[in-house]
Amino acid sequence: MAARDLPVLIVGDVHGDLERLFSALKPYPPSDWHTVFLGDLVDYGMFGVGALRYARDRPNSDVLLGNHEVAMLWALRDRTRIGFWMGIGGQRHDLDELARDEALQEWLRRRPLLLRLRDGTLAQHCGSDAYLDLMPDQLPGPIETINAQARSLLEQGGEPDLWEILSGPNVFETQPLRLDRWLELTGSRRVVFGHKPHRGPKPARYHGGKAINYDGGLSRSHRMHRAASPVSATVGPLTD
Ligand SMILES: [Mn+2]
């Protein structure tokens, strides 16, 4: 069965906690699910590159770019950014690991920012329409345009611009008009995202389920991790 025909499993911010990721994925065999990783697999925890490789190699999976992957690629290209990146949770051994693996670097630079699923759900890292900064006015095909722009930035040392766009706050929770405009512009019926921990026991639904946050603070190394946070706050099927 092709990935697009399988039910969808969403995975929010992993941040290097491979052990909790594995326990979260246990009920969902890769052959039975189309798994969508919403980005920020790296930083804070010790196994960022391990999480990237796992997501890359898991069958029937898609992996989106988060701001932490962009910061890591920036540090890889420009050594003067290593201090900044370590300040946001970067693990030096992960950078060394990525530096030794050109195939992984290349794969990472080609990850999309946005992914539209068959049921009209849009998957992205940030709960925000900041992606619009990558779209010249009134072009058709906003999703393809934004993904192509991100890719070309990462090919040309444009990490600073991409970091700026991806590191802002989530806004959909509090700004329903911006959410509606974004859904209309991208032709989507709802959006799923991560980026900022929601602190609930399940993915947090806003505005009648038109916006759903899957960042449940999975990583025990994240500064906003809470001891009682269940893995199901970050990993779960996309339901109606
Ligand atoms: Mn993020």
Give per-residue pLDDT as tens, 31-70.
Answer: 999 999 999 999 999 999 999 999 999 999 999 999 999 9
pTM: 0.97
For residue 79, what pLDDT band results from cuts at 50, 70 and 90? very high
pLDDT of residue 225: 83
Q: What is the predicted pLDDT for the residue at 44?
A: 97
Residue boundaries of the structural domains of the chain: 3-237
- Three-class SS string for 124-193? ECCCCCHHHHHCCCCCCCHHHHHHHHHHHHHHCCCHHHHHHHHCCCCCCCCCHHHHHHHHHHHCCCEEEE
Tell me how far the alpha carbon of residue 237 lies from the centroid of ligand 1, in angstroms: 21
- The reported pLDDT for the residue numbered 175 is 98
Average pLDDT over residues 128-151: 91
Average the pLDDT over each of 138-142, 157-161, 169-173, 200-204 and give the range with the smallest value.
138-142
Mean pLDDT of 184-198: 97
Whether the pLDDT of residue 147 is over 80: the answer is yes
d(CA 69, CA 74): 9
Q: From ligand 1's centre to the CA of 127, what distance in Å?
A: 9
The mean pLDDT of 90-98, rounded to a whole number, is 98
Cα of 90 vs centre of ligand 1, distance in Å, is 13
Between CA 205 and CA 187 the distance in angstroms is 20
Indicate the burial class of 82 (C-beta count within 10 angstroms; 0-12, 13-18, 19 or more).
middle
CA–centroid distance, residue 29 to ligand 1 (Å):
26
User: In this predicted structure, what is the pLDDT of residue 109?
Assistant: 98
- 126 alpha carbon – ligand 1 mean position (Å): 7
Percent of the chain residues past pLDDT 90, beyond the cut: 91
- Residue with the bigger pLDDT between 37 and 137: it is 37
Q: What is the mean pLDDT of residues 88-99?
A: 98
> In the prediction, which pLDDT does 128 show?
98
Domain 3-237 has CATH 3.40.50.2300: no
- Alpha carbon of 167 to ligand 1 centroid (Å): 7
3-state per-residue secondary structure call for 63-104? ECCCHHHHHHHHHHHCHHHHHHHHHCCCCHHHHHHHHCCHHH
Does the structure show a pLDDT above 80 at 138?
no
- Report whether pLDDT(30) > 90: yes
